[in-house]
Structure 1
Amino acid sequence: MQAYCDRCGEPTASADGHAACRAARAMEPPRYCGHCRRRMVVQVTPVGWTARCAEHGESHG
């Protein structure tokens, strides 16, 4: 489980449950690392996306 929301960077244990973030993430790549809350380098292409955290590496979608 991630400690931080990968869209807004706030702790996932927030009272609102990040429903708006989950809905937005269906169409957007992550912007923050869910493990360490660092802002990630994101590249969007016509066929997908790549997000890279300096500490935890790269993810694809």
Structure 2
Amino acid sequence: METTYCDRCGGPSTGTDPEHERCRAARALEPPRYCTRCARRMVVKVTPGGWTAHCVEHGTLTSA
């Protein structure tokens, strides 16, 4: 089974972990910081129109 990671703190996550409740709440206002597939720190660019987050291994995510 492939491990998924929290996109805010980078820790292992099943999506329903109670310790990631603060992460889920913060993600309502913030872009992701870590790749959910490999837990690498992503390069994030925030603009007035949205955000882009780039993982060197898995590509780019956008808010649009």
Report the TM-score, using the length of structure 2 for normalisation.
Answer: 0.86
2:23 equivalent to 1:21: yes
- Structure whose residues are more often helix by fraction: 2
The Cα offsets for residues 1-58 of structure 1, whole Å up to 9 and x where unpaired, read as x710000000004853410000000000000000000000000000100000000000
- % same residue: 62
- State how far apart, in whole Å, the 2-side matches of 1:19 and 1:39 are: 20
Equivalent residue, structure 2, for 1:51: 53
- State how far apart, in whole Å, the 2-side matches of 1:10 and 1:16 are: 13
Structure 1 residue ranges without an equivalent (≥5): none
Letter in 2 for 1:56: H
Report the TM-score, using the length of structure 1 for normalisation.
Answer: 0.90
How many residue pairs are counted as aligned between the two chains? 60
2:34 equivalent to 1:37: no
